[in-house]
């Protein structure tokens, strides 16, 4: 009978071997930083994107990781505060030494944090839409996955001018940073097409009633209203004002017009008719009533995580979050390592990478990866399970 001492030592050695032996076998994880704004403004978008990111990470890890290494996701919540975004960018780049960073979500935070990541040389997958976030010279390792603000605005403008054949445009934006910038871009693009808006106004996003602005727009002879704001309260009130006044004009603008919350803010469900917004082919039901195959696959995968019932968030957020991780996987796999130089080279030569949200292409001079061909216009009140039907041509 072995002595107590020998038995215990034996057990201890085995235990140690198991614990440390195991970790010696596993390779260094691939660290992905995720700067999100899970609380505060635009949190609903961030939360949905987070679902997509988490799903992709879990999926990849279950299948053995990237190049045999597991992904470690470091999530940081900025609550919409640019100072925190800067601090977290610094922390992820220098303290945690992550290999890639996704985000930030809000354009305001992005403007502050992306230069920092660029200076540190960390590859950055950008999901903010403001045009100034991408610059191949200043930020060589930043690649955008979402469409640009310009793509949203020009899609909406094209629909208004070419499909609906309207010429007297009223622009209503909010006083936030996004609103003021978008109103400017929208006016610019319209003037390039030879149209000057008949009415343009900036409104506080919490203004309780928009009847005055709508009345003034009507008095100026507008035959279409184009709102540029991500504030669902404002958009809800705008649609209510249009309905209460009995003014039959189409409303075409920012994708937030199609958000599920809007439905609840409307006085009558009919007020959502004749409302169109920039959308994507990847989240549009085809003529056969079906979503593109890749989208449908992801919907089925995500549904249990969102409660199992109907999906009531904009699905493109989830799809985009999922794609950011897949793009990273593609970059690291193809370049064979997490070396930032290699990642940059791979992404710059990526053509037609098939994601769920879109098919991406980048080049050394073009770091905006979202194709114009994926843009379309949706009808707001066809919201079902996170996706939409096409707007009438």
Q: Do residues 103 and 80 make contact, with C-beta atoms less than 8 angstroms apart?
A: no
169-174, strands of its sheet edge to edge: 199-203, 169-174, 224-228, 251-253, 275-280, 375-379
Backbone Cα Rg of the chain: 24
Q: Is 75 in the site for another protein (CB under 8 A)?
A: yes
Find the binder of another protein among 71, 73, 93, 302 (CB under 8 A). Answer: 93
Residue 256's contacts (CB-CB under 8 Å, 6 or more residues apart) are: 229, 230, 231, 232, 235, 262, 277
How far are the Cα atoms of 123, 178, 333 from residue 65, in angstroms, in the given order?
A: 19, 37, 10
Q: How many CB atoms sit inside 10 A of residue 266's CB?
A: 18
* Rounded CA separation 271/210 (Å): 14
- Residues 320-349 within binding reach of another protein (CB under 8 A): none
Q: Is 244 in the site for another protein (CB under 8 A)?
A: yes
Q: Is 88 in the site for another protein (CB under 8 A)?
A: yes
Find the binder of another protein among 33, 65, 104, 108 (CB under 8 A). Answer: 108
Q: Is 236 in the site for another protein (CB under 8 A)?
A: yes
How far are the Cα atoms of 4, 22, 259, 382 from residue 272, in angstroms, in the given order?
A: 78, 58, 11, 9
Q: Is 84 helix (H, G, I), strand (E, B) or coil?
A: helix
Q: Is 381 in the site for another protein (CB under 8 A)?
A: no
CA nearest neighbour of 181 among 252, 254, 126: 254
Pick between residue 175 and residue 363 the one whose CB is nearest to another protein.
175
Stretch that binds another protein, among 170-178, 282-290, 367-375, 384-392 (CB under 8 A): 170-178
Q: Is 16 in the site for another protein (CB under 8 A)?
A: no
Q: Do residues 70 and 30 make contact, with C-beta atoms less than 8 angstroms apart?
A: yes
Find the binder of another protein among 265, 281, 292, 334 (CB under 8 A). Answer: 265
Q: Is 165 helix (H, G, I), strand (E, B) or coil?
A: coil
Q: Is 130 in the site for another protein (CB under 8 A)?
A: yes
Taking the complex as a whole, the smallest distance from the CB of residue 152 to another protein amounts, in Å, to 16
Pick between residue 9 and residue 215 the one whose CB is nearest to another protein.
215
* Rounded CA separation 324/255 (Å): 20
Find the binder of another protein among 29, 44, 167, 390 (CB under 8 A). Answer: 44
Find the binder of another protein among 71, 98, 116, 356 (CB under 8 A). Answer: 116
Q: Is 39 in the site for another protein (CB under 8 A)?
A: yes
Stretch that binds another protein, among 25-33, 84-92, 285-293, 304-312 (CB under 8 A): 84-92
Taking the complex as a whole, the smallest distance from the CB of residue 263 to another protein amounts, in Å, to 9
Q: Is 215 in the site for another protein (CB under 8 A)?
A: yes
DSSP conformational letter for 308 = S
Cα 259 to its chain centre, rounded Å, is: 14
| Interaction site with another protein (CB under 8 A) | 38-41, 43-44, 75-77, 79-84, 86-88, 90-91, 93-95, 106, 108-109, 111-112, 115-116, 120, 130, 132, 175-181, 184, 201-204, 206-209, 211-212, 215, 232-233, 236, 240, 243-246, 261, 264-265, 267-268
């Amino acid at each position: 009978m072995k002595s107590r001492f020998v038995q215990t030592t034996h057990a201890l050695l085995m235990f140690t071997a198991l614990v440390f032996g195991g970790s010696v076998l596993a390779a260094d994880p691939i660290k992905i930083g995720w700067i999100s704004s899970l609380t505060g403004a635009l949190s609903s978008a961030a939360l949905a994107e987070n679902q997509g990111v988490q799903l992709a990470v879990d999926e990849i890890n279950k299948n053995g990781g990237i190049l045999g290494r597991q992904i470690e996701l470091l999530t940081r919540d900025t609550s919409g505060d640019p100072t925190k975004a800067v601090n977290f960018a610094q922390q992820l780049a220098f303290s945690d030494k992550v290999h890639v960073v996704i985000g930030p979500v809000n354009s305001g935070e992005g403007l502050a944090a992306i230069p920092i990541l660029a200076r540190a040389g960390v590859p950055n997958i950008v999901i903010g839409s403001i045009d100034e976030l991408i610059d191949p010279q200043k930020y060589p390792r930043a690649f955008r996955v979402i469409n640009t603000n310009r793509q949203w605005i020009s899609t909406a403008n094209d629909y208004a001018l070419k499909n609906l054949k309207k010429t007297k445009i009223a622009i209503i934006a909010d006083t936030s940073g996004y609103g003021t910038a978008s109103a400017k871009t929208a006016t610019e693009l319209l003037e390039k097409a030879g149209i000057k808006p008949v009415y343009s106004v900036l409104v506080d996003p919490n203004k309780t009633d928009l009847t005055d602005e709508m009345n003034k727009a009507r008095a100026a002879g507008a035959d279409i209203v184009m709102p540029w704001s991500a504030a669902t309260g404002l958009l809800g009130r705008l649609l209510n004002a249009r309905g209460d006044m009995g003014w039959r004009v189409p409303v075409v603008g920012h994708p937030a017009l199609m958000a599920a919350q809007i439905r609840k803010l409307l006085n009558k469900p009919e007020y959502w008719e004749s409302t169109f917004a920039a959308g994507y082919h990847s989240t549009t039901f085809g003529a056969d009533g079906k979503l593109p195959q890749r989208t449908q696959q992801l919907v089925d995968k995500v549904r249990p995580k969102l409660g199992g019932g109907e999906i009531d968030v904009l699905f493109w957020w989830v799809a985009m979050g999922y794609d950011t991780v897949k793009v990273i996987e593609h970059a690291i796999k193809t370049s064979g390592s997490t070396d930032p130089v290699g990642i940059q080279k791979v992404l710059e030569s990526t053509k037609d990478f098939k994601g769920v949200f879109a098919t991406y292409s980048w080049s050394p001079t073009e770091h905006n990866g979202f194709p114009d061909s994926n843009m379309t216009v949706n009808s707001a009140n066809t919201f079902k399970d996170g996706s939409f039907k096409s707007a009438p041509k």
